[in-house]
Amino acid sequence: MVKEPMSIDELKQMAATIRCDIIDMICTAEAGHPGGSLSATDIVTALYFRLMRIDPANPRWPDRDRFILSKGHACPVWYAALAERGFFDKSHLGTLRRLGSILQGHPDMNKVPGIDMTAGSLGQGLSVGIGMALAGRLQKKDYHVWVVIGDGESQEGSVWEAAMAGAKWKLGNLTAILDRNNLQNDWYVNDLMPIEPVADKWRAFGWHVVEINGHAMEEIVPALEAAKDRKDGPTLILAHTIKGKGVSFMENVCEWHGKAPCQEEADQALKEIRRCSCEQ
């Protein structure tokens, strides 16, 4: 039921595998969002292969930990993690965004095993996560709820309404992870609608805040473990990341928010990811 947690080195290798899956999926589909998928890869990998209590053979297990990718357009990273973890056959990854596929451009909890929330409109995931965390408390369950939100998404007022509620109910079984890659669909987050000082804002809203390098497993794993152990209120992990992480020509380039690589670009991206993986 609960897979043996991966070591730090194993997590790094799995993150590289998932990055390759993301590139392959989006290239094949000729559509998708590589930038934000790649920036969230290390966090998602650590959750699915180290932290979360889940059972791929029983996706609706009542005692499972819950995961929400509030920035649902980055679902390629979620699909890849679920497939690599055994929730469904990896052959589905080649059907991303095709008519009739279970893997659409935004995740559907009624079609994909392991998806806990259908995502599309931004700014909704944290509110749903609060509902799940409250339900767990009322039902006397000890599962943990994890919510990944985007920094562009954090311009949504609903995120801050949810933040108030999480603190009010002292939801120690809830952790939000901010994928702070600094770019959104149109341009730099802080040019379009600044969210800084974002760490101070979350603290002012009553959350315990931890800042980490969102690509360093040596920082990610302890931060997630500490958040899961904390019981006196919700935690916000501010993960400083790079949009398009792992692919030189995608890193910190706004254009790759929602653009698919051609085959030549995909081949180059896969070569870079695999080379970096071998050097770790």
Are the C-beta atoms of 163 and 126 separated by less than 8 Å?
A: yes
- pLDDT for 164 equals 98
Is the per-residue pLDDT at 275 higher than 90?
Answer: no
Assess if residue 3 is contained within a domain. Answer: no
Residue 276 pLDDT level (bands cut at 50, 70, 90): confident
State the Cα angle at 240 between 236 and 242, rounded to 5°.
140
- pLDDT for 4 equals 79
- CATH number of the domain residue 161 falls in: 3.40.50.970
Assess if residue 135 is contained within a domain. Answer: yes
Q: Which domain holds residue 96?
A: 8-279
pLDDT tens digits for 242-260?
Answer: 999 999 999 999 998 989 9
Residue 1 pLDDT level (bands cut at 50, 70, 90): very low
What average pLDDT score do residues 160-178 get? 98
One-letter amino acid identity for 82? L
Residue 3 pLDDT level (bands cut at 50, 70, 90): low
pLDDT tens digits for 189-239?
Answer: 998 899 899 999 999 999 999 999 999 999 999 999 999 999 999 999 999
Assess if residue 1 is contained within a domain. Answer: no
Are the C-beta atoms of 75 and 26 separated by less than 8 Å?
A: no
Assess if residue 83 is contained within a domain. Answer: yes
For the chain, the maximum distance between any two Cα atoms, rounded to a whole number of angstroms, is: 53
Angle at which helix 157-168 crosses helix 125-138, to 10 degrees, equals: 20
Percent of the chain exceeding pLDDT 70 equals: 98
Assess if residue 113 is contained within a domain. Answer: yes
What is the number of structural domains in the chain? 1
Assess if residue 2 is contained within a domain. Answer: no
- pLDDT for 121 equals 87
State the Cα angle at 247 between 242 and 250, rounded to 5°.
65
* Count of CA atoms in the C-beta half-sphere (13 A) of 250: 30
What average pLDDT score do residues 21-43 get? 97
Assess if residue 103 is contained within a domain. Answer: yes
Region for 112 from its dihedrals, namely left if φ exceeds 0, alpha if ψ lies in -120 to 50, beta otherwise: beta
Is the per-residue pLDDT at 185 higher than 90?
Answer: no
Assess if residue 126 is contained within a domain. Answer: yes
The mean pLDDT of the chain is: 95
Question: Torsion over CA of 15, 33, 160 and 207, rounded to 10 degrees?
Answer: 10
pLDDT tens digits for 47-106?
Answer: 999 999 999 999 999 999 999 999 999 999 999 999 999 999 999 999 999 999 999 999
Residue 279 pLDDT level (bands cut at 50, 70, 90): low
